Structure 1
Amino acid sequence: MEKFISTLDSVNQMLSSFVWGPAMLFLFLGIGFMFTIRTGFFQLTHFKLWIQNTILAIFKRQDVLKTKDQHSISQFQSLCTALASTMGTGNIAGVATAIAAGGPGTVFWMWVSAFLGMMTNFAEKTLGIKYRYKNEKGFWVGGAMIYIERGLGVKWLAALFSIFCALASFGIGNMAQVNSISTSLLNSFQIPPIVTGVVMAFTVALVIMGGIKRIASVTEKLIPVISVLYIVGGLIVIFVNASALPHALSQIFHEAFNFIALGSGVTGYGFAVALRMGVSRGVFSNEAGLGSSVMVHSASDVKEPVVQGMWGMFEVFADTLVVCTITALVILTSGVYNMDAYLSNTAANIANLDGAPLTANSFSAVIPYGAQFIAISIMLFAFATLVGWSYYGERAVEYLFGTKAIFPYKLSYIVIIVFGSVASVRLAWEISDTLNGFMAIPNLIALTLLSGEVIQMLKSYLAINNKK
């Protein structure tokens, strides 16, 4: 097993270097920048509009919360299910891993990728609603593979996306999630990883066998509660350490453009590493550009494509610009993470200052039982991600092989949960990054070629909205 994992790690490092090279970083940032420019910085200039149509709408309109359509889910349920897939360990362990590997500057590039990614996500969801269709049972069928096939007329590219999506579901949606759960529960409660893996596999199976309706029912109850609890906990830590906040922000902006090469055992640092880690972890967290959450947004009962696009914008905003930022500031203000000590390799003497344990130690510095709080938060967030991503993989497999392949896929997904619980943390994250990159390529090509349609739909919507 050790030899297999070592070989897999070597192959993955080679693929990861290829996928997450300068060209891919340019694609992610460039396409988001393109949509931002062509929409006139819509995420800023029409902030009030998209906030009113999303999070504020749940307090004004009952139909946003619940749907009468037996074959659809509500707009709020689509958001919660999408956030269930994004607000997982990327927000807690992913941010910590990025800072540990690339320094505080990674946070700046997370912000940049999220700001631009809001418009990438807007485009994905808008196209998803435009090109979705109902199957013979009356359920919506949508996703990046659908707008690639129907919008571009290139079925082989849609199939390629579906292949990578199905594989990515075992990485970003499965191994990385359960690995962080098992690691945090081991450190906080001394629960053996294999026990965590078996229990999580059984629990996830109970949910995903019930289909999208059961998944949405679970996530709409789970995500709001755990999100609020985590945000409140993080704000308490930041408030207590408020005096360290100016220095933390200074580190973020200064180290984002630091070109100095450093040694003493550090494998890589500076601008290039900060950029790569920031963008890749930002994408891991909010999934803008991957085309993944289009599948669940397409199941919404919404009528207007642009409105669902706005829900996609809020998804990125909440996931990265709010929750990931809170995690980063908790780490950088807590005093647990010391950049100078880390770079001189003396921080290697502090056990497990990477991934979830770094975040847990940062919370523990202020909140009693902070490590246990983070362990439970990760377990709940990651559980939601596990069930959400199973739906994405299921849709991809169904597109490729038909409904007969769904049950074998679900069984495989459940088995991989057990394997992921005992895999090395870095291997789990690196496999996820690699698969994310391959999955994004067909989707980014489609978004670029269909960008004119997105802009036209937005212009038409704004013209009608301005007349009201």
Structure 2
Amino acid sequence: MNDLLDFFDTILWSSILIYLLFGTGIYLTFRLSFIQFRRVRHLFSPALFKPNQDPRGASAWRVLCLSLASRIGTGNLTGVAIAITLGGPGAIFWMWVIALFSMATALIENTLAQIYKGAGERGKFRGGPADYMEKGLGMRWMGILFSFLMVVSCGFVFSALQANSIAQASFHLLHVPHLTTAAILATMTALLISGGIRSVIWLSKWLVPLMAFAYLLLAVWVIGHNIEKLPQVIALVFKSAFGLQEAASGALAYGVTQAITQGMQRGVFASEAGVGSSPNAAAMASVSHPAAMGFNQMFAVFIDTLVICTATALIVLTSGVLDHPDAPFGIRLLQQAITPATGGLSHIALAVLVFSFAFTSIAGNYVYAENNLSFVHNAAPAKRLIFRLLVIVMVFGGCLVELQMLWKLADIFMALMAILNLTALLLLSGIAVKVVKDYERQQRMGKIPVFNPDHYPELRGQLEPGIWDKSPPRR
């Protein structure tokens, strides 16, 4: 089974996804005139998080926290550690590269999600790639296929992966049996998702900023203990990225390939830009202009990959744990890296952080899965209950299965979703770029950008009535 998964994983990532993701990011970066660099200050603008009074949608701040809940998970901890172990320090450079160019992709996909959003249960905003595939491209079959992949991956595979990370951390750091962790985690998941999407958004609003701040404090503390190594670590990242370390040994091509593949895989898994998951959150927001959520989610990519993932990488590399030939793997590598600076508290601190990161990811992924389930069919309470029970079963089972197999499944499903989503957003990039430029034009005029669909004749007949026009909301 592992050999078969390895084969598909290699084909999808080495032959297709690296070029498609990187190419899309570069193409959109040029079309948007390097917007992620020239408008970087706008990402920190309070105007992006100003509450909107429309009761049908969530605030931009809550949507940012929800998307970060899904993004900031095991990919930021064990995923980065695995990337460094398999791809070398150079993997971090390529993780930065894919994140920077993917910010343009995030801008476009989340702007599209806002343009084509609709009204779901109780009139609340909902949407995502499946909706812009159906409304923008007229391809409902494509939306259904994407929704199916989202339900299986976010509802089952990704949740099982995050649960497995909690079980592994609890066992190696606190010596808690896997079965005990499975029972506790499944119970907590059941309690959370029984409250639906609203309870997940509430949890994300409070827990995500707290856990991110706590982890950055830990990173600063650990890196500060090894600050003298920081300059040489930065130099090592750049040298390894281009194979300068391996050139003398004749392993140049392999070293560079591993660095690029591992860096981009982990970068995409962490940031989710281009995969089509974050637009499911972006569509829930109440904003005056679709591009506002595009910038909001560009900021999410910045925080997730360029801040949190970089913190993990610098913790590992400055600690010097990779200098030992018998260095551990995954979460134990991270524990060994922080132990000299934190002493006997390392196992407790890391276990709490892994739990927080992974549990919020389970919660965020559940929201994405339920959102796509409702795209295919408005689920009756009984059907929704069955789906929730299956999610709980996968969380329980994820604590007990092999980690490597889960990583491969996650990579394969992410690749398939990305192929569909990138195809759709490239076909719709013209209207998205036009909307983003309208947002910038209004800002230059000193206005608060407001979206007027009448200015876009190509959208006529594609938007759901009552969402962007002035007609009353549906009841």
Question: Would you call these one fold, judging by a TM-score over 0.5?
Answer: yes
Q: Among residues 4, 7, 12, which one is paired with 1:11 in the alignment?
A: 4
Counterpart Cα distance in 2 of 1:394 and 1:385: 14
Q: Hey, what does 1:433 align to over in structure 2? A: 411
Aligned positions, number: 440
Distance 1:68 1:200, change over 3 A: farther
Matched, 1:317 2:292: no
Distance 1:261 1:433, change over 3 A: farther
Map of 1:437-448 to 2, 5 A cutoff?
A: 437-448=415-426
Query: In 1, are the aligned partners of 2:287 and 2:293 still within 8 Å (CA)?
Result: yes
Distance 1:327 1:409, change over 3 A: same
Q: Hey, what does 2:256 align to over in structure 1? A: 271
Structure 2 residue runs without a partner (length 5+): 447-475
Cα displacement (A) at 1:262:
11
The residue identity in structure 2 corresponding to 1:92 is L
TM-superposition CA deviations, 1:357-400 (whole Å, max 9, x none): 21121111211212221111010111000011011111222222
Give the match's secondary structure for 1:403: coil
Matched, 1:23 2:16: yes
Query: In 2, are the aligned partners of 1:102 and 1:274 still within 8 Å (CA)?
Result: yes
| More displaced 10-residue stretch of structure 1: 212-221 or 170-179 | 170-179
Q: Among residues 353, 362, 365, which one is paired with 1:377 in the alignment?
A: 353
Q: Hey, what does 1:107 align to over in structure 2? A: 92
Cα displacement (A) at 1:323:
0.5
Give the match's secondary structure for 2:341: coil
Query: In 2, are the aligned partners of 1:290 and 1:440 still within 8 Å (CA)?
Result: yes
Q: Hey, what does 1:406 align to over in structure 2? A: 384
Q: Hey, what does 2:287 align to over in structure 1? A: 302
Cα displacement (A) at 1:183:
0.8
Give the match's secondary structure for 2:273: coil
The residue identity in structure 1 corresponding to 2:317 is L
Q: Hey, what does 1:178 align to over in structure 2? A: 163
Counterpart Cα distance in 2 of 1:454 and 1:68: 24
TM-score, length-normalised on structure 2? 0.89
TM-superposition CA deviations, 1:291-331 (whole Å, max 9, x none): 11111111111121011101110000000000100100000
The residue identity in structure 2 corresponding to 1:27 is L
Structure 1 residue runs without a partner (length 5+): 1-6
Counterpart Cα distance in 2 of 1:261 and 1:207: 52
Distance 1:171 1:99, change over 3 A: farther
Cα displacement (A) at 1:11:
2.5
Map of 1:38-437 to 2, 5 A cutoff?
A: 38-53=31-46, 61=50, 63=51, 69-135=54-120, 137-170=122-155, 173-258=158-243, 260=246, 269-338=254-323, 341=324, 346-347=325-326, 350=327, 353-368=328-343, 369-404=345-380, 405-437=383-415
Counterpart Cα distance in 2 of 1:272 and 1:136: 47
Q: Hey, what does 1:3 align to over in structure 2? A: none
Distance 1:136 1:88, change over 3 A: closer
Distance 1:358 1:323, change over 3 A: same
Query: In 1, are the aligned partners of 2:174 and 2:347 still within 8 Å (CA)?
Result: no
Query: In 2, are the aligned partners of 1:171 and 1:431 still within 8 Å (CA)?
Result: no
Query: In 2, are the aligned partners of 1:261 and 1:269 still within 8 Å (CA)?
Result: no
Distance 1:170 1:103, change over 3 A: farther
TM-score, length-normalised on structure 1? 0.90
Counterpart Cα distance in 2 of 1:467 and 1:123: 22
Cα displacement (A) at 1:36:
1.0
Distance 1:301 1:18, change over 3 A: same
Matched, 1:464 2:442: yes
The residue identity in structure 2 corresponding to 1:31 is T
Cα displacement (A) at 1:284:
0.6
Q: Hey, what does 1:4 align to over in structure 2? A: none
Counterpart Cα distance in 2 of 1:387 and 1:76: 17
Counterpart Cα distance in 2 of 1:22 and 1:365: 41
Counterpart Cα distance in 1 of 2:389 and 2:230: 47
| More displaced 10-residue stretch of structure 1: 13-22 or 214-223 | 13-22
Give the match's secondary structure for 1:367: helix
Counterpart Cα distance in 2 of 1:334 and 1:174: 31
Distance 1:136 1:421, change over 3 A: closer
| CA RMSD between the two structures | 1.9
Counterpart Cα distance in 1 of 2:73 and 2:157: 10
Cα displacement (A) at 1:70:
4.5
| More displaced 10-residue stretch of structure 1: 394-403 or 22-31 | 394-403
Distance 1:336 1:270, change over 3 A: same
Distance 1:69 1:196, change over 3 A: farther
Give the match's secondary structure for 2:136: helix
Counterpart Cα distance in 2 of 1:413 and 1:381: 18
